[in-house]
Copies of this chain bind each other. A is one copy, B any other.
Amino acid sequence: MVGSRSFWGWGFEAEHLSSSEQHQLGALVAPLVGADALEVVDPPSPSEITLPASRLTSPAALAGWSTTDDVARAGHTYGKSFRDVVRGLDRRWDRPPDMVVSPPDEQGIVAVLEWATDVGAIVIPYGGGSSVVGGVEAPADDDRPVISCDLGRLDRVLEIDRTSRAARIQAGVFGPSLEDQLRPHRLTLRHYPQSFEVSSLGGWLATRSGGHFATLHTHIDDFVESIRAVTPKGALESRRLPGSGAGPSPDRLMLGSEGIFGIITEAWMRLQDRPTHRASGVARFESFEAGSNAARVLGQSGLWPSNCRLLDAAEAMITGAGDGTAHLLLIGFESATHPVDDALSEAAALVGDHAGSFEVRAQRESGRESDGSDVADRWRAAFLRAPYLRDALVGLGLISETFETAITWDRFESFVSTIRQVTEDALRSVGAWPGLVTCRLTHVYPDGAAPYFTVIAPGRRSGRLEQWAEVKGAVMEAIAAEGGTVTHHHAVGRDHRPGYDHQRPQLFAAQLRAAKHAVDPHALLNPGVLIDP
């Protein structure tokens, strides 16, 4: 969580596995992917970066906070998907931005958009750069110069309304700094996507990020009071309201717009009191189906557990939550106002009534703020650590990626088994087998759930991008065909366009294009993401 950001892989350099740790990991994983040994690829060093010359020269107005430095450009070329990390390890920087700008304020963003219009450049909003869907990279089929607009300097909480439990927050703030600024007020946004440490409020809003709560308030969407964004036609700011029925919600059009309408500069967000009462437990199931039935019953109960995450046996094992002999349902409740032990008991009773064989082990604590030592906090720490392991696996030459979706309960069982099968078959057909395809439920709804799949498989040292492209294509097609969503909370970006184009109503696409043209007539902003300009 400290030190410099990696320019090619996840997060912070200091958090990356050391070479010896990586070798140890390799020895553990090799048998799972049918390998005798796995070789470590050395990470790239800044001196290995070679980029085409920038086509842009900063005007005076932007000079203080723009750069054409190669490391900055390389660091803003990609997000952090498997594909991105492989390209980084391959010392490959396709279509780097010509310039990286870091405006100090909203006026700076206005100046960037004006200048981009003048010079015919495109602008890619960049928060934490943790996109795993090609959301921050330049389009391959657009020859205009590229500006990466890094919001990192807009990192402050500007105003706090303690009575309404809300704050006006700049879009560039990352998770830890945001929570640090809220803590003195005994408030929290309580939004912990896996990218928490290296992603920003603006990014969460632009991509409809999925957060802490496994039920009820699953996405960042529900915590939005109002959004302010700068478009090429000017600023667009919604009114701060607790609820409204005045026409379609302006916020809901901006949420998930992935930078195509404007650059989000700040938002009024709904906050939580910091929880002081918690209760959690783990239910064990002999089958994933029994576990998902229990999750469904809990999701439909109106108890709204904050944690309700089902891990299949393999997922439980690789995340250290279990030993691989059972499927686990992690159940947790939290509150700032009242004890939640009864809610846990009620949840346990429901799970027992509906799910057959199970056991609940409750870890209860009350009356204090968490000191980081409880099960939920340990799970969260491991969860935040997972992408570093992913990078280490990629550094061992493996295919290591995740994908996620959502589906209604009526189709849930057959859907999960089909997607699992399609993934395994596709891995086999590209010669990336034996491997591991695990599943967990990240979010649970009354009417369905969000399955999240992790893939670890042997890749060809120089061909795993093509291998994965084929697998990913097959998976995306199956998800679309089977009625799922191409993404529950990873966003669309460029990588999910085929599935998204299939899923999205065609006339809605026409509406989106028209709405974009109304605020971005020259298609400066993130062209090719979500829709063709």
Contacts and interface: CB of A to CB of B under 8 A. Distances in A.
A183 interface: no
Contacts of A37: none
B248 A302 contact: no
A526 to B, nearest CB: 12
A45 interface: no
A163 interface: yes
Interface string A217-247: 0110000010000010111111111111111
Interface in A319-350: 335-338, 342, 346, 349-350
A483 interface: yes
A519 B350 CA distance: 47
Contacts of A342: 342
A288 B247 CA distance: 30
A304 B304 contact: yes
Q: How many copies does the complex hold?
A: 2
A461 interface: no
Contacts of A97: none
B300 A407 contact: no
A265 to B, nearest CB: 14
A410 B246 contact: no
Interface in A486-524: 486-492, 496, 500, 503-508, 510-515, 517-519
A511 B247 CA distance: 13
Contacts of A244: 208, 406, 485, 487-488
Contacts of A510: 233, 518-519
A128 interface: no
Interface string A449-485: 1100000000000000000000000000000000111
Select the residue from A237, A238, A256, A336 with max chain B CB neighbours within 10 A. A256
Contacts of A254: 248
Contacts of A210: 245
Contacts of A234: 507
Given A161-B410, A246-B492, A514-B514, A239 B446 contact: no
B410 A504 contact: no
Interface string A387-422: 000000000000000000011111000000000000
Interface of A: 161, 163-166, 207-210, 216, 218-219, 225, 231, 233-250, 252-258, 261, 270, 273, 296-297, 300-304, 335-338, 342, 346, 349-350, 406-410, 443, 445-450, 483-492, 496, 500, 503-508, 510-515, 517-519, 530
16 contacts: A209-B245, A218-B243, A225-B447, A231-B507, A242-B447, A243-B488, A245-B487, A245-B490, A246-B486, A248-B253, A248-B256, A273-B300, A301-B337, A337-B346, A338-B346, A514-B518
